[in-house]
């Protein structure tokens, strides 16, 4: 870890999808930097087991059941942070859904469900937390999760690609609108992060793990802690002049694709 234990002292962070994968990695890092946590997602058992892990690490953490597709539940989660901790300083809109299906076979509801979770859910989190973030004595921080695949085009994941591109645009707008309120809004664009549901669904289950690894200049999948460290930077005073940014943490994958015109072998067969 490269940050101090009090980089986020006194801050309260709400993390959607904080019970697993990248969200849990971010939760651990924010807590290690001194933040108090509220984890929000649909599956309470998953949240409880994350809380147990976090508390063993010395974190102060709570959970709230919340489906980010339901605005009233997102509003309630924001309210819960205020009730438990008295304030809300950081919101990490990390919750997402994704699966591989060619656009020509994607049902309208399959499209809708991913747009609802990823894009609408991120807007709901931002909208519902605005007043609380504006009131933060540290300056509010809103962090969303994107991916460079959004701008490359994402065969097999048209819904998630479009949703993440929408998130990137949303964050640029919010950074402009909310800067004067002291709220910094940024995205992190992870590459392929090993041992996550995202990598399992998009690469491993599709038999594309080796191909994906071959496109990464640093030669390995990232770790949730890599994304978590970027989150601490963006949420702490170390990132005090950074807003409207999309911080790419991908082992150079997007540069490699841009320079070689890389298209994974077998991709068209798999998604046609
Ligand atoms: P994950 O473990 O499946 O995380 C997704 C989380 O979102 C889960 O904790 C899930 O919890 C929650 N969630 C899903 N639908 C929800 C809903 N409707 N309301 C509230 N919570 C919901 O996957 P991950 O791979 O760590 O992905 C985390 C983030 O990183 C996502 O934004 C993803 O797009 C992004 N990302 C991941 C990678 C990667 O390599 N893994 C790469 C680029 C971007 P419940 O089931 O309890 O609701
Ligand atoms: N291929 C094609 N279509 C699929 C699919 C797949 N693998 N998985 C789901 N769908 C379709 C369903 O058939 C349904 O469409 P239909 O009504 O026309 O049949 C639609 O998507 C909604 O599916 P449903 O299972 O009802 O949605 P849900 O709200 O219960 O779950 C998901 C949402 C589908 C995104 C689910 O995978 C999820 O909860 N994911 C969270 C974890 C995750 O995706 N992690 C990776 C993050 S990058």
Predicted pLDDT at 143: 99
Predicted pLDDT at 264: 55
CATH of the domain at 50: 3.40.50.720
Task: Please give the tally of structural domains in the chain.
Answer: 1
Q: How far is the CA of 94 from the centre of ligand 1 (A)?
A: 6
Predicted pLDDT at 4: 77
Q: Is residue 266 part of a domain?
A: no
Residue 23 Cβ < 6 Å to ligand 2? no
Q: Is residue 65 part of a domain?
A: yes
Predicted pLDDT at 268: 47
Q: Is residue 224 part of a domain?
A: yes
Show Cβ contacts of residue 62 under 8 Å, excluding neighbours closer than 6 positions.
37, 38, 39, 51, 80, 84
Pairing of strands 12-16, 184-190: unpaired
Q: Is residue 41 part of a domain?
A: yes
Ligand 2 atom nearest 42 alpha carbon: 39
**pLDDT per residue of the chain (272 residues) written in tens, 0 to 9:** 556 789 999 999 999 999 999 999 999 999 999 999 999 999 999 999 999 999 999 999 999 999 999 999 999 999 999 999 999 999 999 999 999 999 999 999 999 999 999 999 999 999 999 999 999 999 999 999 999 999 999 999 999 999 999 999 999 999 999 999 999 999 999 999 999 999 999 999 999 999 999 999 999 999 999 999 999 999 999 999 999 999 999 999 998 876 666 555 554 444 43
Q: Is residue 272 part of a domain?
A: no
Show Cβ contacts of residue 260 under 8 Å, excluding neighbours closer than 6 positions.
none
Q: Is residue 54 part of a domain?
A: yes
Q: Cα torsion at 144, 145, 151, 152 (round to 10°)? A: 180
Predicted structure pTM score:
0.96
Residue 110 Cβ < 6 Å to ligand 2? yes
Q: How far apart are CA 141 and CA 129, in angstroms?
A: 10
Predicted pLDDT at 256: 84
Q: Is residue 258 part of a domain?
A: no
Q: Is residue 46 part of a domain?
A: yes
Ligand closest to 191 (CA) is 1
Nearest CA to ligand 2 atom 4: 110
Domain residue limits at 17? 12-252
Question: Which among 21, 93, 248 is the best mutation to test ligand 1's pocket, defined by most ligand atoms within 8 Å of the CB?
Answer: 21
Ligand closest to 227 (CA) is 1
């Amino acid at each position: 870890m490269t940050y101090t234990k009090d980089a986020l002292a006194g801050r309260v962070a709400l993390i959607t999808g904080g019970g697993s994968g990248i969200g849990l990695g971010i939760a651990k890092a924010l807590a290690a930097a001194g933040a108090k946590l509220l984890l929000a997602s649909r599956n309470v058992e998953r949240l409880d087991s994350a809380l147990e892990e976090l508390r063993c690490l010395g974190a102060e953490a709570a959970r709230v059941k919340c489906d980010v597709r339901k605005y009233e539940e997102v509003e309630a989660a924001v309210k819960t942070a205020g009730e438990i901790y008295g304030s809300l300083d950081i919101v990490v809109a990390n919750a997402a859904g994704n699966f591989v299906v060619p656009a020509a076979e994607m049902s309208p509801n399959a499209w809708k469900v991913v747009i609802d979770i990823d894009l609408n859910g991120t807007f709901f989190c931002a909208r519902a937390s605005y007043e609380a973030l504006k009131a933060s004595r540290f300056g509010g921080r809103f962090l969303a999760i994107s991916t460079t695949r959004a701008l490359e085009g994402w065969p097999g994941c048209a819904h998630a690609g479009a949703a993440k591109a929408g998130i990137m645009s949303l964050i640029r707008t919010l950074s402009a609108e909310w800067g004067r309120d002291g709220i910094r809004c940024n995205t992190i664009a992870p590459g392929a992060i090993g041992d996550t549901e995202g990598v399992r669904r998009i690469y491993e289950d599709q038999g594309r793990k080796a191909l994906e690894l071959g496109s990464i200049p640093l030669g390995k999948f990232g770790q949730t802690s890599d994304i978590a460290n970027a989150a601490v930077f963006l949420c702490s005073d170390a990132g005090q002049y950074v807003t409207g940014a999309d911080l790419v943490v991908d082992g150079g994958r997007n540069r490699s694709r841009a320079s070689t015109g890389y298209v994974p072998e077998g991709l068209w067969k798999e998604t046609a």
